Amino acid sequence: MVDYSENLIEIRDLMYSRGARVIFKDMNLTIKRGEVTALMGPSGTGKTTLLRLITRQLIPQQGAIFVNGVDIASLNQRDLYSLRQRFGMLFQNGALLTDINVFENVAFPLREHTKLSNRLIRHVVLTKLHAVGLRGAADMMPAELSGGMARRVALARAMVMDPDILIYDEPFVGLDPISMGVIVRLVRRMNDALGITSIIVSHDVAEVSTVADRSYLISDGKVAASGSPDELSAAKSELVRQFMHGMADGPVAFHFEAPDYAEQLLGRDSE
Amino acid sequence: MKGLLRDIYNNVLEFVRTFGAFQLFFLRIIRHSPRIVLRRPGLVIKQIHNTGALSLVIIMVCGFFVGGVLGLQGYSNLARFNAEDSVGTVVALALIKELGPVITALLFAGRAGTALSSEIGLMKATDQLSAMEMMAVNPVRRVLVPRFLGGVVAMPLLVAIFTCTGLFGAHVVAVDLLSVDVGAFWQQMQLSVDIKDIREGVLKSFVFGIVASLLAVWEGYNAIPTAEGVGRATTRTVVITAISVLILDFMITAVML
């Protein structure tokens, strides 16, 4: 399906709640083809939930999400699966299959969806593992990997089908500075060289700023601000300033709602 | 009183709902099964190894001792009527019709069922099932169906092995230790064990295989994705399988009489 429109993903008037808790309300968001888009926001704003909505692991109560102009809620399972073959997703914890080794994990989508020869699969898998620097770990089991290594293997697996859209859920957490630099460059390079559209969920402001073309700051179930990283850094809004510069005081409370501190410590209950 | 009635009503409703969902789940598994058997037999064979071959030691050890104790009890009670030659018959009928399928199913629930539930539950808790969904691979087809089929194939084989080692155990105790005549032991058995008895045992082993495997994958798939949730699902697998197997055993026996 070739679609030359500029917007790859459009979210319109999205409403999603879990029990009584409203997570998104009247949310509108656009992800442009070929760009690296970052979704940022304080913890607990539902960034991961938004990714799950975009990939239809969850279905919104109201509103619609269009991918390539198609409302994904209307897809049957076969169409959904053929759409998902064009997605690559990197989960927060890697989500590698623990009963097979690193090589087979990366080969998994190829073995499931293609009839490529073992020789070709070997070439493709080793190329992808080399790109994340773990060609030497091909025979290791997922349990033997560190958190950062597991994430890099998962990235190789997400890339192996050469997807159109790569989704990263907190890709920078737990990476050492060297791997982080390599991964950031890899994200950017894949985007530019292969024309992939990337979506990054992160609250790592500094790293995101180096790689993202456009950032959305999500707070209270809505898009609070959007723009290039420079625009966001320069924004006047208190919320944006607090988040981008990591200040404890501001519209977003650091403390979860609680009774008065002194009263709780000195009150009768403390005995 | 009103509160009590409402609780009962809610519980019954919940039970009916869960039972309905369970049946739909069964149909889903069955629907995907032919494709997996035809296109990916390797996945099923791996699971037959996991659930069947890896349960062999426990099945054989337990079979041997169950047969042995049956030989011992049979001998000491039959000897009162000078009928110790019939010990082979007693042991064979008990093992083939009842104890073989039932004890194997209970051991299967404890050894393989718990392994299946916790494995699937942990795959869910660590996003492995979501990751498969995202790779456009249906986890029901790729993960649950091969495990279910593996259990269904393994159970009758395990029952057969359990029964055989049980007979061997009885032979060791009755013939080698208690000096029952070896000819009488086997001949009496041959005369009184009918093909109908064997058919009953085989039917039970298939039914228990389906029930135990289905419950194990169901509990794992529906586990709450936390450490506690997976633990609870594993326990439920054993408890519910045991209860279901014993109730079904009674029903099949009643129908086959």
Q: Does A112 touch chain B (CB under 8 A)?
A: yes
Distances (CA, A) of B139 to A115, A159, A209, B4: 20, 20, 37, 40
Of A81, A97, A99, the CB nearest to B136: A81
What are the DSSP calls for A52-65, one per residue? Answer: HHHTTSS--SEEEE
pLDDT recorded at residue A269? 59
What residues in A contact B138, CB-CB < 8 Å?
A: 77, 81
CB B9 within 8 A of CB B202: no
What residues in B contact A89, CB-CB < 8 Å?
A: 131, 134
CB pair distance less than 8 Å for A85 and B127? no
- Angle of helix A147-159 relative to helix A102-113, nearest 10 degrees, comes to 20
Distances (CA, A) of B162 to A175, B63, B93, B109, B202: 52, 5, 14, 15, 12
Fill in the DSSP letter of residue A169. Answer: E
Write out pLDDT tens, residues B19-37. Answer: 999 999 999 999 999 999 9
pLDDT recorded at residue A170? 86
Instruction: Quote the tokens at residue B176.
Output: 């080698």
Mean per-residue pLDDT for A107-114?
92
pLDDT recorded at residue B162? 97
Query: Which of A141-145, A210-214, B50-54 is the least confident region?
Result: A210-214
Mean per-residue pLDDT for A248-257?
75
**B135, pLDDT greater than 80:** yes
- Let me know how long chain B is: 257
Nearest CA to A170 out of A135, A204, A119 is that of: A204
pLDDT recorded at residue A1? 44
CB pair distance less than 8 Å for A89 and B126? no
Instruction: Quote the tokens at residue B249.
Output: 């055993």
What residues in A contact B133, CB-CB < 8 Å?
A: 57, 84
Mean per-residue pLDDT for B60-69?
96
Instruction: Quote the tokens at residue A175.
Output: 């990476």
The amino acid that residue B115 corresponds to is: A
**A151, pLDDT greater than 70:** yes
**What is the number of other CB atoms lying within 10 angstroms of the CB of residue B147?**
27
pLDDT recorded at residue A92? 83
CB pair distance less than 8 Å for A57 and B130? yes
**Rg value, chain A, Cα:** 20
CB pair distance less than 8 Å for B135 and A55? no
In this predicted model, which residue has the larger pLDDT, B184 or A229? B184
pLDDT recorded at residue B211? 96
Write out pLDDT tens, residues B138-148. Answer: 999 999 999 99
pLDDT recorded at residue A133? 87
> CA torsion angle for A110, A116, A119, A125 (degrees, to 10)?
-20
- The reply to whether ipTM tops 0.85 is no
Instruction: Quote the tokens at residue B93.
Output: 């009928």
What residues in A contact B137, CB-CB < 8 Å?
A: 108-109, 112-113
Of A55, A93, A108, the CB nearest to B127: A93
CB pair distance less than 8 Å for B142 and A93? no
Mean per-residue pLDDT for B195-202?
94
Min Cα distance A95 → chain B (Å) is: 5
H or E segment to which residue A227 belongs = strand A222-227
Fill in the DSSP letter of residue A171. Answer: T
What residues in A contact B134, CB-CB < 8 Å?
A: 55, 57, 84, 87, 89, 91
For A51, the closest chain B residue by CA position comes to B134
What residues in B contact A145, CB-CB < 8 Å?
A: none
Share of chain B above pLDDT 70, in %: 100
Using the structure block, give the residue that is written with the tokens 């019939």: B86
CB pair distance less than 8 Å for A98 and B128? yes
Largest CA distance in chain B: 70
Instruction: Quote the tokens at residue B132.
Output: 């498969």
Min Cα distance B156 → chain A (Å) is: 26
Q: Does A98 touch chain B (CB under 8 A)?
A: yes
For A90, the closest chain B residue by CA position comes to B131
Using the structure block, give the residue that is written with the tokens 């149909």: B27
**What is the number of other CB atoms lying within 10 angstroms of the CB of residue B64?**
20
Fill in the DSSP letter of residue A267. Answer: S
Mean per-residue pLDDT for B103-112?
95
What distance in Å separates the CA atoms of residue B14 and residue B20, rounded to the nearest whole number?
A: 10
Predicted confidence band at A149 (pLDDT cuts at 50, 70, 90)?
Answer: confident
What distance in Å separates the CA atoms of residue A155 and residue A175, rounded to the nearest whole number?
A: 13
Instruction: For A189, list phi and psi in degrees, rounded to 5.
Output: -65, -40
Residue in B36, B126, B135 to test binding to A, most A beta-carbons within 10 Å: B135
Q: In whole numbers, what is the pLDDT of chain B averaged over residues?
A: 94
Write out pLDDT tens, residues B139-176. Answer: 999 999 999 999 999 999 999 999 999 999 999 999 99
What are the extents of the domains in chain B?
43-256
For B40, the closest chain A residue by CA position comes to A112
H or E segment to which residue B51 belongs = helix B41-51
Nearest CA to A85 out of B157, B14, B138, B256 is that of: B138
Interface contacts (A, B; CB < 8 Å): 54
Helices of type H across chain A: 47-54, 77-84, 102-113, 118-131, 147-159, 177-194, 205-211, 229-233, 238-245, 261-266
What are the DSSP calls for B110-165, one per residue? Answer: IIIIHHHHHHHHHHHHTTHHHHHHHTT--HIIIIIHHHHHHHHHHHHHHHHHHHHH
In this predicted model, which residue has the larger pLDDT, A77 or B207? B207
Mean per-residue pLDDT for A235-248?
76
**A247, pLDDT greater than 60:** yes
Using the structure block, give the residue that is written with the tokens 């990263």: A168
Q: Does A92 touch chain B (CB under 8 A)?
A: yes
Mean per-residue pLDDT for A113-142?
92
**A105, pLDDT greater than 70:** yes
Of A84, A98, A113, the CB nearest to B134: A84
**A252, pLDDT greater than 80:** no
Mean per-residue pLDDT for A207-231?
84
CB A5 within 8 A of CB A69: yes
Write out pLDDT tens, residues A29-61. Answer: 889 888 899 998 887 788 888 888 998 888 888
What distance in Å separates the CA atoms of residue B138 and residue B154, rounded to the nearest whole number?
A: 24
What residues in A contact B130, CB-CB < 8 Å?
A: 57, 91, 95
CB B163 within 8 A of CB B95: yes
Fill in the DSSP letter of residue A213. Answer: S
CB pair distance less than 8 Å for B127 and A92? yes
pLDDT recorded at residue B120? 95
Mean per-residue pLDDT for A243-251?
75
Of B119, B128, B135, the CB nearest to A109: B135
Nearest CA to A94 out of A153, A143, A174 is that of: A153
Min Cα distance B235 → chain A (Å) is: 22
Q: Does A130 touch chain B (CB under 8 A)?
A: no
Predicted confidence band at A2 (pLDDT cuts at 50, 70, 90)?
Answer: very low
pLDDT recorded at residue B193? 92
Q: In whole numbers, what is the pLDDT of chain A averaged over residues?
A: 85
Fill in the DSSP letter of residue A172. Answer: T
Q: Which of residues 62-91 of A touch B (CB under 8 A)?
A: 77, 81-82, 84-85, 87, 89, 91
